[in-house]
Structure 1
Amino acid sequence: MAEMIIGLNLVLLGNMGAGKSASGNTILGRQAFESKKSSRSVTQDVAVESETVCGRRVTVYDTPGFCHTELSVLEIQQMLERFLQRCESGLCVFLLVIKADRFTKEERETVEKIEKLLGEKRLEKTWILFTRGDELEEENLTINEFINLSEPLKRLVQKYEQRYHVFNNKKKEPSDQVQGLLTKILNLEYPSSRRIVLLGKSGVGKSAAGNTILGQKEFRSEQRMSSVTRESSVAQATVSGRSVSVVDTPGFFETQMKPEDLMAEIARSVYICSPGPHTFLIVFAVNMWFTEQEQQIPQIIEMMFGQELLKYSIILFTHGDQLEGKAVEELIQGNCRLRDLVQQCGGRFHVFNNKAQNNREQVNDLLQKIDSMIEQNGGGHYSHQRIENAQRFRREEEEQRQREEEERRQREEEERTREEKQKESCVCS
C-alpha cells in the first residue's frame, strides 16, 4: 500500500527567549518568524506558517512567551482555544521549547503553567525541544549528560517518557536535525504498525475476520451460536509490509460465561495489545436480523469503554458473499438503528468475504480506512487510561445511584414513621 502523506501541525510553546521562533525557522528552513532577544515577548499573538518539509506538509504555530506577555490568563486561554480548534483537526504535536541551559525555577513554573493550559490529554502529544545545542557542543556535553545534571529536568524528561529532541538553531545549512525530529514524532504518533480489536456477538465471523486480516489461520473459527473464543487472544503478522496485531474477543451475550467475567475478558483486549488499539472493528453479519441483542451492543460498548471508543471504531460486515450483488449501503439505510450506529462511528464501515482470504485488496482497503480514521482523530490510539477513566466514571455513577436509592429509602422510612406517629396521636386523642 502506498505511504500516506501525513500533514503535521507543530505548536511551539515555552518561555520568552527559549528559542521558539528560531526553532520554527529551523523547522521550516526559512526566516518565517521574527526572532530576536528582547525583554518582552516578540510574539504577541499566534503566528502560523507552513512549508513542505522532508516531503510532508508542516504547519508551525509560534506562540507568545506566556510568562512575559501583556496578555491576561483569560486572554491566553481564549487564544489557545481559538487556534487549537484549527490545528487539532489533523495530526498535532506540542513542542515544549527549553534552553539547554540551567533549568531555573522560572522555567519550571513556565512548564507547569503550560501543562495546566494544555490539560492532561494533550500532554500525551507533547515533546521537549531543547535549543542551544551549539552550546552543548562547545562544552563537549551530550544531551543525556546535560539532562542528568539537573534532577528536576531528569524528572521532567521521565514524565514525558523520553520524548525530547535537540536543535542547534545557528546551523544555516540543511541538516538532519529537522528530519530526525519529524521521524521521531511520526514513528511514535503515527506508527506503521496497526493494533486491531474485534468486537461482536458469537457466530458473526469475528475470528474468521481476524484470520482474513492476518492472511493466515491464527484464531479458531466455527459458525456456531456459542462462542469458540472464551478469552481474548492476540496474533500478529506482516500485512502489506507493516506489522499488524489482531485481538479476538469472546462474543457478547456468551451464555457459558458469567456476565462479569465476560465483560472483564472483553475489556482486557485493550491491555493485551499495549499501549492500546488503533481501532475497534464492531462485527456484524450482512445476513443477520438487527435484533434486540444487536441493538444492545452499542450501549454495552459505551458502558465498558466510554463514548469516545466510537471515534476509534469501524463497522465490519462479514459474509459479504451473501450480498449477491446488492450494495451494503442498502442494508444500512434499511435499518434506522444500524444507520445510527454507523453514523456514530463517523460513517465508517467495511465488508469482508472471509471465504476469499486470498483477496488481499479487501484487507488493504480496510487498513487504508483505519489510516484515514487515525489521521482524522489527530493520530494516536485508544489508551489504557481512557478505559480506566470510563470504568471509574461508571463506578462513580453506580455509587451515586446507590446513594440516591439509599436516600430515597430513608426518606420513605422517615415518612412512614411520621405517618405512624400521626395515626397513634389521632387514636390517643
Structure 2
Amino acid sequence: MAALSSASESGEHGVVRHPPERRLLLLGGPRAGKTSTANTILGDEVFEPGTETTHSNVGQTEIYGKRVTVVDTPPWTIPSGGGEPENDRNNTDENDNNAAADDPPQQQPPPPQSLDSEGPCMGAILCPPGPHALLLVVSVSQPFTEVQKRAAEDQLAALGGGTWRYSMVLFTGVDTLPTGTFIEEHISNMGEALQWLVERCGSRYHAFDNASKETGGEDSTQVPELMEKVEELITDNQGWYFEVNELILLEEEQARKALEEERLRMEEHVRQREQMIGGPPRELRVLLLGWKGVGKSSVGNSMLGSRAFEAGQETELCLRRQALVSGRRVTIVDTPGWDWFSVRRTPKRVRHETQRGAALLRPGPHMLLLVLPVVSSLTARKRRTLQAHLEALFGERSCLHTMVLFSCGDWLGHTPIEEHIQRGGRELHRLLAYCGNYYHVMDSKVPGGKDGSGGSGGIRQVSELLDKIEEMIRENVENGDEAFLPVQDEWLAEESSQSSDNTEPEDDCRGCQLQ
C-alpha cells in the first residue's frame, strides 16, 4: 500500500514553498524512449540518449514558473514466457479509477528484485516526497503485447497500491506513424493489451515526437500540453502526490546495501589477490571439452560474462574468445562435442578440431575443463570414453590439467554438490579421482544478460572457479609439473590445414606470468 500525501507542499505555519514543484517519474520497457523523453521535457541533453539506463537519474528545469523534476529509470524487466495474466487480473472493473486507488484490493507483495537490478522504488526516492505523475513510456514502433502488459503490472505493483490513479501513458516515436494516423487510431489498432493499459490509466495519455529538432523550441506545444495534463491529473487527485510505502522503501534500501556489500567484498577479494601475486592481471587459458550438448558454450558465456559463444546449437568449429574477468585475462576456446560411446565413433574431423582448439591457446591451455551436466548419469563406458578422449588427444599427462565442471547447477536446487557427488556412484568418484578431485559447479547462465539471470551469484561462481584453476596450477608447479599443457607439433600441423574464419586474432602470450 502506498501513502497518499497532499501536494500543496506547505511548509511550517502554512507558508507555501516557491516556486511550486512538479515531479515526474518515467517508467517503461527497453528501448521505449524514456531518456529521450526526459531530455525533451527538460529542454536539453541532460541525460545521454542511445545507451541503456542502468541507474535512476534526476534532472530539473523550470516550465512556466514551476520547477519540474524528471527522474529517468532503468527499463523494467520483461517476464519470460508469453502466457496471459490470470483472467481476474484482466477483467478488473476500472470504470472508477479513483475509487479503486483509494481502496486497493489486498494482494501478495511482489517478488523481490534481484540484487543487481534497480527497481522503480529508487526512482521514486529520488524525487521526494513523491512523484505527482508516473509516466508510462510506450514506443509506438514496438508492439505492446500481453507480456509487456504483465511487465507494466509488475512494475507498478513493486511501488505498492494506488499507483494507477497517478499514471499516464506517454507514447514516443509518433513521427514513425503513417501520415495522417492519429494516436487514437494507433491505440485502437494495437489490440487489447494496449487498450487495457490506457484504460487502466484512466484514459490519460500523451504523444511525443522526440526525434524532431523543434521539440525543445519555443514554438513546441507538446511539453506545455503534457504539463497541462499533469496539472489535470493533480487536480483529479485533489492535489495529492504518490508516496512509496516506508516498508517498501526499507526493503529497497536493504537490497541495495546487500548489493553494495557484495560489490565491496568482490573488490577486496581482487585487491588481496593482486597484492598476493603482484603485477598486471594474469592470463588463464581454458579449453572446454565434453560430449555433445553438455552445455560447453553456456559455460563459456557464464565465465566471460557475455554471449561470446552461440549456445543452443551444435559447435562445429573451435571458437576463441577473451575477456577481463575478476582481475584476470581469461581466454576460452569452445570445441565440438565428442561421442559418448567411444573415441573411434568421434569423427576424425572433430578430434583434429579439438586439438586445434588447444593450439589456439599457445603456448598451451592452463586448464582442460571437462563439462559434465549434473543431470547426467555416468556409466563405466562413459567414464572410460571420457578418459580415452583426453589421453588420445592430449596425452597421458592431460589429467594433471583437467578439472570436472558440473554444468546446469541450478537443477540441484538447495542440494550441495558434494551430496550430488556422493549419490553419483562409483564411476563419478573414479572420474574425479582421475582429475585430482578438482571439480566445480556452475549455473549455465549469463551474468548481466538481458534475461537478468546470473547476477552477483553468477559472478561469485566464476570467481571461485578461477581461484580453483589457479590453485590447481600452483599445485602442479609445486610438484614439478608444468603450469600448462604444452602445444604439440602435431596439433599445429592440423591447425594450419583446418584454420577457421571464426577465430579471432591471437594475443601474444609471452608475457603471461603463469607460463
Same fold (TM over 0.5): no
Q: Name the structure with the higher helix share.
A: 1
- What TM-score do the two structures reach when normalised by structure 1? 0.44
**Larger radius of gyration between Structure 1 and Structure 2:** 2
